[in-house]
Chains A and B, each alone.
Chain A
Amino acid sequence: AQSVTQLDSQVPVFEEAPVELRCNYSSSVSVYLFWYVQYPNQGLQLLLKYLSGSTLVKGINGFEAEFNKSQTSFHLRKPSVHISDTAEYFCAVMPGGYNKLIFGAGTRLAVHP
C-alpha cells in the first residue's frame, strides 16, 4: 500500500521569506509524484510533477521540488513567498501503472506581511 505524509499541517511565514513544505511517501512500487495547490472553495491546481529524469522539478509560480528516492521525499520549496501564495498545498503520489492519486493531509501555508 502507498501512503503520503505531510509533516506540517500549518506553516506560517513572512512575505519574501523562503519556505519548504515537506512530503514523505511510502510505496512498494515506483511512483509518480505531484504537488497541488488549493485556494479556498476551489479545486486543485497542479504546481509540478515528477515522472522521471531530473530529480529537481520546477513548477509554476516559482515553486520547485526535489525527488529524493533514498529518503522517499518530495519537498516543495520557494525562495521568496508572496501573500498570494497563501493556500493549502497537497502532495500526492500515483503508483506506477495505476491512474489513482493518493493525497497527503495537506499543509496550510500562511504568508504574513
Chain B
Amino acid sequence: GAVVSQHPSRVICKSGTSVKIECRSLDFQATTMFWYRQFPKQSLMLMATSNEGSKATYEQGVEKDKFLINHASLTLSTLTVTSAHPEDSSFYICSANPQGTYSNQPQHFGDGTRLSIL
C-alpha cells in the first residue's frame, strides 16, 4: 500500500534552533501533502496544505514565517520550524494522497515527528 515516511521521528533541540522535518511518499507521487500538529492527548489540527511547485496554504492562526513549508518535488515536502521555542514542542504528522486520486480518498499518514524544544 501507499507509504508515507517522516524523518526524523524524534528531535530534541535548544530554544532558538530551526528544525526541518521531512515527509516523503515512498511509492507514489503526491501533488498535495498535509501537515498536522497534535498536542498531547488532543486531536490533530491541520496546519497547512503543501502544494508541489507552489506556495503552501496555511490554516487560520498558523504563522507562515514560523512554519516554513517547501514542496519541491512530487515525493517530498518539508516543514521547517524556525527559531523554535518550548511552546512549539509537539507531535507533527504529515499525510498525502497519491496523485490523480479523487479528493475523497483517505490520506496516508506518516509516523509523525516528536519535537521537543528545551
Contact = CB atoms under 8 A, between A and B. Distances in A.
Interface of A: 32, 34, 36, 41-46, 49, 51, 90, 94, 96-106, 108
Nearest to A45: B109
B41 to A, nearest CB: 8
Interface of B: 4, 6, 9, 32, 34, 41-46, 49, 91, 93, 95, 97, 103-104, 106-112, 114
Contacts, number: 58
B42 A46 contact: no
Contact of A41 (B95, B103, B106, B114): B114
A69 to B, nearest CB: 16
A97 B114 CA distance: 32
A98 B107 CA distance: 13
